[in-house]
Each structure stands twice: as structure tokens, then as C-alpha cells.
Amino acid sequence: MSTQQAFDFEPVDFTRSRSSDPATSQEAEAAVTPKLNRIMLEILSVADDTPRTARELAELAAVGRRNAGVRVPEIETYRKRARELQVLGQLRECNPRSCRYTGTSATTYIKSPR
């Protein structure tokens, strides 16, 4: 399934490099973007109507990869995608609460209704 088919929206490019960055940085961004899009799909696959922090969503998404014996990127890579999905309208921001993993107060997210 392509990213376009899985997301019910027009993909938005999150520029991760500056125009003043060297060509190597821009090439690295182009190489990593498909991986980050896949991680966004994994985050969406575990999101539902239960408010969860970005870290909780990240941990849930990573479980599937761990169970399949697939290497899991840094959990921060997953966590950061929640905010991007909120900007795209795929996750909705909810009230903050204490995160089950960090113990600190954090914004929670639910899957946006279609």
C-alpha cells in the first residue's frame, strides 16, 4: 500500500533541511522521507479514540516491529511523527496527562474522525 493510499489526505512535505544546507543534507532528507512516512503509518495504525501521549503511541507502534523481529528505529523517531500527524489533521490533540513512560505531563492524541 502506498503512502497516498493509506493516508486520506494529500501528502505534505515536512522540510527537514534548510535551503542553505549542503547538497548532502538535502540528499539525506530525500532518503529518509519514505522511512518517516512508513513510521507515520505505523503511528496511525495504533491510534484510536483512547487518548495517548506521543511516546505511548510510539511505543505501541514499535511493538509490532519488535514482535516481527524487525529493527526498531530510535523511539524518538516515532514520537516526533505524532505532532506531524496532528498538523496534517490525522490526529487530534487532547488534554495533557502524565505519560506512562516518562511520568511527565504530555499532550495526548486520538485519531481524527474521517
Supply φ then ψ for residue 111, to 5 degrees: -70, 135
Of residues 97, 60, 96, 65, the one with CA closest to residue 79 = 60
Domain interval for residue 57: 22-111
In a domain, 6, yes or no: no
Mean pLDDT of 76-89: 92
This prediction's pTM: 0.77
pLDDT tens profile 8-22: 544 555 666 777 888
Please report which confidence band the pLDDT of residue 64 belongs to, taking 50, 70 and 90 as the band edges: confident
In a domain, 1, yes or no: no
Contact assessment for residue 43 and residue 82, using Cβ atoms and an 8 Å cutoff: yes
In a domain, 51, yes or no: yes
Q: State the total domains in the chain.
A: 1
Which stretch of 2-11, 70-79, 88-97 has the lowest confidence by average pLDDT?
Answer: 2-11
Check which CATH number belongs to the domain holding 89 and give it.
1.10.10.10
In a domain, 5, yes or no: no
Residues found in the chain: 114
